Structure formats: structure tokens, C-alpha cells
Structure 1
Amino acid sequence: MRIAPFAVALLFAAGLARADTPQDALSEIARCADVADSAARLRCFDAAVPRAKKALAEHQAREKRGFLDWFGFARPPKPVTRPEDFGKPPAAEPGEINQITAMVAEFAKTPRGKSIFILDNGQVWRQLDSDTDEIFELAPGKPMKVTIEAGTFGGYNLSIEGRNGIVKVRRLK
């Protein structure tokens, strides 16, 4: 009789090992609720909840990486649904990223004097316009922290930590 709760817990633990998605993890937790023996049910929940938390955290991190990978590329304009909303900036959707912060891994200049920012996350941004004509590294070899945020009319503004002003940029990669 004592082997039955152990066998049930072992079967549930084997099923939990494959819980790759939050949905799989939640279904494993739901199966734990069906275990009759209270000690076996507790062991099942104790094994299922950490895996569910891990699966959820991994899913959220993957989703955020997906948003970050596409930040800065052209996005379709959002339709205006009411006349009173015409001309207003579109409201941010839940989960939509409107700015990123990164370190400049490499800094270069084009032949026409425009700056190229290669960020530590792999993104490449080129200067379009600036409040000042000359952009230079604060201390050559020392990383610069920049923030890029969505601007008006689908543009993007780059600001360098420790400096005033913004640089209008376009994402190349």
C-alpha cells in the first residue's frame, strides 16, 4: 500500500520533466490536484511549482527577446479609429517596448561624418540628424550607455548617458 503513493508521485515527476511550456507546466499542476493521497499530492505540487515558475520565466524571456530583436525596424501604422484621436500619438499596447538601453560596443563614422552605433545586443544604428553636428566618444575605449526610444512619426531618438540632446537614428541591423 505504501508503494502506490510513491509510484504516483514518480509518474507525475517523470511527466513534469518534459514541461517545456507554461501550458504543459499548468497541466502538470492540474494533474497533481487529482492525487488522492495528501502526502503524495504535496510532493507532486512541490515538484511541479518550481518547474512551472521556470517554464513561465523562460517563456517571458523568449517573448521579450523577440520584441527586442525587432525594436527599431519599420512597423505598420496603427489605424485611426475615431476622429478625435486623429493626430494623437498612438497609445502603447501592453507589452510593447518603446525604448531600449544598451552599451555601445563599437563606434564609427561614415565618410560624411555621421555616426554609426554598434550596440552590445547586436543592433546597428546610424545617425540621421542631431542637435549637435559632432558626436564623439566620451572616452575612447570606454563604453557609452545609450537609450533609444521611439520618437514621433515612426522615428527613433538616441540619447547618450551623461550628455544633453538627442540624435535621430535609423536601425540598420
Structure 2
Amino acid sequence: MRHILLTIGLLGSITLPTVAQTTDISTSTVYACVDLTDDAQRLECYDSAVGRLKAAEETGEVVTVTREQVENVKRDTFGFSMPSLPKLTMPKFGNGDKDTTLKEVQIPIKKVDETLRGRFLIYLDNGQIWEQIDDKRVYYSSRRGAEMALIKKASFGSYMMKMDDGVMFRVKRVQ
């Protein structure tokens, strides 16, 4: 839950400035200065654009986010519906028309519990908790344990998981 609130806070702080601003504060205003041919005008343009960008960053209206930070957010939110998340990962990150949607993750397993219905709750090292939702028979030895979970997006918004080299079974993320 803490990860979700942190992520929502991060996304809110990134998307709010574009709605609240009356003047355009973005890198595009800095890049527009390159087209000016007069040196004095170009310098004045750069000073003005960089000054507005710096002021907005100092007040927290604009937040700089690296590709690594975006990928970490995508990985941490894998399995949850985050409608605003794709807006962060569009072509701005140098991928052009490539689909940047995360289709699978591989995360170490912290522990595995079996429910009364014979299904599994899988606790991952990053704090995520996934629950088996199908009746597929999954072979798991509590003595031997499991080290790694591979979780893949499946059809109709569902997810499939495989522990180590076992069989794939349907899961949903509960935390």
C-alpha cells in the first residue's frame, strides 16, 4: 500500500504542473531558442526559458524524472491498473514508436503461503503480494522453497506466474 501511495504522489507531482501552469514550462521552450539566429535574442531566450524552468523546479512545480525512475515505477506498479502511468513513458524516452509496456517481471520470492483452499499467496522481495486465482495444481515444496517468480501479462488484463521452473498459473496482485 505504501508503494501505491508513493507512486500516486509521484505521478500527481509530475502531472499537476502541466495543468496548473499558465505559461509553458517545459524543455520545449528551451529547445525553441536554438532556432533564433541573432545571438543576443538567443541568449535572452535561453536565460528566460532556463530561468522559468529552474524556478518551477525549485518550487516543486516541475520534477525531473530519469528513465531509470520511470522503469522502477513501472516495475513497482506491475499488476495494478494505473491509467496515468503510460503518459509518463511515451516516446519522450527515446523509444520512438516502440511499445514500452512492461510485459513481464522476474522478482525474487520472499516466502510462499498456502491458503485453506489449496491456493498460494506469494510474497516477493519488493513487497508485492500475489494470490493464485485458478485451480491449477501447482507443485511447491516448502522444504525446498522457491527462489524466483516470473510474472507475465496474459489476456484480458490477467497475469500468469511461474515459480522457478514450475508451471504457469493465474494470479492477481493483492498488494
TM-score norm. by structure 2 comes to: 0.50
- Distance in 2, matches of 1:172 and 1:93, equals 30
Counterpart check, 1:61 vs 2:68: yes
Q: Which runs of 5+ in 2 are unaligned?
A: 1-26, 40-64, 84-96
Counterpart check, 1:156 vs 2:159: yes
- Distance in 2, matches of 1:64 and 1:107, equals 26
For each residue in 1:48-81, what CA deviation from the matched residue of structure 2 results, as whole angstroms up to 9, or x when unmatched?
Answer: xxxxxxxxxx8111111111121101366xxxxx
Task: Kindly state the Cα deviation for residue 146 of structure 1 after the two structures are TM-superposed.
Answer: 1.5
Q: Which runs of 5+ in 1 are unaligned?
A: 1-22, 35-57, 77-91
Please point out which of 101, 104, 110 is paired with 2:115: 110
Please point out which of 165, 170, 173 is paired with 1:171: 173
Counterpart check, 1:119 vs 2:121: no
Aligned partner of 1:73: which letter? Answer: F
TM-score norm. by structure 1 comes to: 0.51
Alignment length, in residue pairs? 103
Equivalent residues of 2:146, 2:163 under 8 A apart: no
For each residue in 1:111-164, what CA deviation from the matched residue of structure 2 results, as whole angstroms up to 9, or x when unmatched?
Answer: 2221000011111000011532x4413743x5421100000111000012222x
- Distance in 2, matches of 1:93 and 1:156, equals 22
Equivalent residues of 1:137, 1:144 under 8 A apart: no
- Distance in 1, matches of 2:156 and 2:82, equals 11
Equivalent residues of 2:146, 2:164 under 8 A apart: no
The structure with the largest alpha-carbon Rg is 1
Please point out which of 39, 60, 81 is paired with 1:74: 81
For each residue in 1:13-63, what CA deviation from the matched residue of structure 2 results, as whole angstroms up to 9, or x when unmatched?
Answer: xxxxxxxxxx6xx99xx9xxx9xxxxxxxxxxxxxxxxxxxxxxx811111
User: What residue in structure 1 maps to residue 147 of structure 2?
Assistant: 144
Summarize the Cα distance change of 1:75–1:60 in structure 2 as closer, same or farther, 3 Å threshold.
Answer: closer
